[in-house]
Amino acid sequence: MRHSIDVAGSLLATLNQQGRGIRIGSAGRQPAELLELYDMEGCPFCRVVREALTDLDLDAMIYPCPKAGDRYRPLVEKLGGKQQFPFLMDPNTDTALYESGDIIDHLYATYGSDPAPPAWLVKSLYTLSSAGTSALRLGQGTRALENHPAEQPLELYSFEGSPFARIVRELMTELEIPYVLRQSGRDQARDWVLPPMRQRLFPDYEPSQRNRRALLQRTGDVAIPYLIDPNTGTELYDSERITDYLLNTYAD
Ligand SMILES: N[C@@H](CCC(=O)N[C@@H](CS)C(=O)NCC(=O)O)C(=O)O
């Protein structure tokens, strides 16, 4: 029951983002090395950057930096000079950037097939609605919970606008769990059909997006989110099962 209410609230957050962070629209080239994003799931400025990652079909290593967390925050200060989020490190171009607008410009200029959305739009509509979404989420995904570290980063198949994946990412932020974000945005009509219905209606479903294809090959199914934890050899579908697992494994 509690989980269903959380999913309903998260769906409201997705609607508030007016469709951003769901589709892959401007994918260009893929970086050779993983981008590194230091962020908080609940931060409005971080959200607009993650929406750009989905639009560009870019994976990233996510280092969660919740308030009162001490795992990666000091590192950001060491690398960039201050604790401000988002903070992007791009090892492919030797770039380190604060400021969501600058990060978005860099990502589109380096990896996009389209120009970045205009700065005025990012600063006005995108950031304002993102602030509204953070308010709707009532601070989830911003403050650290007592936790113990994951030795190796986890992997999460996710796209920014997924209401189910958001709930998982919020908890991963709160537990300061580093993870490789396997970008799994939608790029064809059949991606929009809910998995149980899709299996019945389109048993021959063949995703074209690279991570969705990998997921189908690995598990015989495609649903978002999907979590891989190399520390325990666990792999799971279903946001409720994943959040239960994360709490049992990493919360103190
Ligand atoms: N203009 C910056 C604003 C970034 C910002 O204010 N981020 C907040 C989090 S939402 C922050 O870093 N607060 C300091 C902290 O959390 O320690 C941007 O667009 O990236």
pLDDT for 171 equals 98
Q: Is the pLDDT of residue 235 over 90?
A: yes
Angstrom distance (rounded) from CA 102 to CA 174: 26
Is ligand 1 within 6 A of the CB of residue 45?
yes
Residue among 37, 39, 41, 45 whose CB has most ligand 1 atoms within 8 A, to mutate:
45
Is ligand 1 within 6 A of the CB of residue 86?
yes
Q: Is the pLDDT of residue 180 over 90?
A: yes
% of the chain beyond a pLDDT of 70: 100
Is ligand 1 within 6 A of the CB of residue 130?
no
Is ligand 1 within 6 A of the CB of residue 83?
yes
Is ligand 1 within 6 A of the CB of residue 84?
yes
Q: Is the pLDDT of residue 213 over 90?
A: yes
CA 173 to ligand 1 center in whole angstroms: 15
Is ligand 1 within 6 A of the CB of residue 87?
no
CA 84 to ligand 1 center in whole angstroms: 5
Phi, psi of 182 (to 5 degrees): -90, 100
pLDDT band at 36 (very low <50, low <70, confident <90, very high): very high
pLDDT for 29 equals 97
Mean pLDDT over 208-232 rounds to 97
CB 158 within 8 A of CB 184: yes
CA 63 to ligand 1 center in whole angstroms: 15
% of the chain beyond a pLDDT of 90: 98
pLDDT for 46 equals 98
| Ligand 1 atom nearest 43 alpha carbon | 10
Mean pLDDT over 215-227 rounds to 97
Q: Which long-range contacts (CB under 8 A, 24 or more apart) does 9-14 make?
A: 9/136, 9/137, 9/138, 10/137, 10/163, 10/164, 10/166, 10/167, 11/163, 12/136, 13/133, 13/136, 13/137, 13/163, 13/166, 14/161, 14/162, 14/163, 14/166
Strand order of the sheet with strand 35-39? 95-97, 87-90, 35-39, 60-64, 179-183, 154-158, 226-229, 234-237
pLDDT for 87 equals 98
pLDDT for 1 equals 85
pLDDT for 116 equals 98
| Ligand 1 atom nearest 101 alpha carbon | 19
* Topology classification of domain 2-185+224-250: Glutaredoxin (3.40.30)
For the stretch 101-153, pLDDT in tens is 999 999 999 999 999 999 999 999 999 999 999 999 999 999 999 999 999 99
Q: Is the pLDDT of residue 210 over 90?
A: yes
Q: Is the pLDDT of residue 228 over 90?
A: yes
Is ligand 1 within 6 A of the CB of residue 127?
no
For the stretch 62-98, pLDDT in tens is 999 999 999 999 999 999 999 999 999 999 999 999 9
pLDDT band at 190 (very low <50, low <70, confident <90, very high): very high
CA 26 to ligand 1 center in whole angstroms: 26
| Ligand 1 atom nearest 83 alpha carbon | 17
pLDDT for 199 equals 87
CA 238 to ligand 1 center in whole angstroms: 31
CB 71 within 8 A of CB 149: yes
For the stretch 44-60, pLDDT in tens is 999 999 999 999 999 99
Tokens of 248: 């049992």
pLDDT band at 8 (very low <50, low <70, confident <90, very high): very high
For the stretch 166-177, pLDDT in tens is 999 999 999 999
